[in-house]
Amino acid sequence: MNSNDKIQEAFDRLSPSRSVEEIDRAVAEIIERRYHEVYSAPTLRFLYSTIDLTTLAGTDTQESVEKLVEIANHTAQHPEEGMPNVAAICVYPLQVPVVKKVLKADGVRIAAVSGGFPASQTFLDIKLAETALTVSAGANEIDIVLNLNHFLSGNYKDVVEEIEEQKASCRDAHLKVILETGALKEPELVRRASILSLYSGADFIKTSTGKEYPGADLRAAYTMCCVLRDYFLETGIRRGVKFSGGIRSAEEAVKYYCLVDQILGAEWLTPELFRIGASSLASNLRQAIESC
């Protein structure tokens, strides 16, 4: 069986995508049923523990990144506040040594974007070198962007090979593949991108870069969660999901929690399998917890 046949077999093995109307109805039903039940201080604290605290600005400096890292350090130094820490600090590759030097909080991981982020429009050799150098600098999580040039052209074999090579460049670091769901739009494209990423070795599938296209939305999140569920049923392997791009309020975060809880189950309610990429969400969750 050639590579194209194997890819088509993977598409066929997992459930087909639902229509936009069906997805929107299902999402609305889940949120109506679960939102008010789960909205509570414990849920908000858990959501805080899933945050990849992120800065990806062209104006990032050592000083600004140090200030971000101090949010995690403060939480570690003040356990009496009863807050968990964030899951990771996510930065550009050049800022990884800064995070590594300043971060004192145990258990907070160092994540970095790589592979020609955010467009993924550069040579594969450069992507692989960047990922290897970023891991060597201290990152233990790597976020790359799906090669939309290949994907949208139907060159699925090249998509798979690139993710597999990036995974190898990660060595022991976790690999998150950003699907850029705001550019894909159609549920079937989101489904296919999710399947290709998972079968190519991604540890997480992630919605968005938060740059050129719309960020996370509940429709794409629903489709991704369904693929993760079907992939687990098919292989027995649990992979993670990360929602990023525009999630700022506690109310929004709880809606994504509802989808993960209902579609994937309690086993996914851990920072090892569930992340939210954000910056302002951290302070907003703290305020919401105080109001509960």
Residues marked active site are found at: 143, 206, 242
Placement of tokens 């693929």 in the chain: 227
Report CA-CA distances (Å) from 95 to 68, 72, 100, 137, 169.
Answer: 11, 16, 9, 9, 19
Cα three-residue angle 17-271-253, rounded to 5 degrees? 65
| Percent helix, strand and coil across the chain, each to the nearest 5 | 55, 10, 30
First to last CA, the chain: 57
Q: Say if CB 157 and CB 3 are below 8 A apart.
A: yes
- Copy the structure tokens of residue 55: 């800065």
CA dist 229 and 195 (Å) reads 11
Q: Which of 56, 53, 92 minimizes the C-alpha distance to 73?
A: 53
CA dist 72 and 95 (Å) reads 16
Asked if the peptide bond before residue 118 counts as cis, ω within 30 degrees of 0, the response is yes
SS3 247: coil
CA max distance for the chain: 59
- Copy the structure tokens of residue 194: 């999710």
Q: Say if CB 174 and CB 202 are below 8 A apart.
A: no
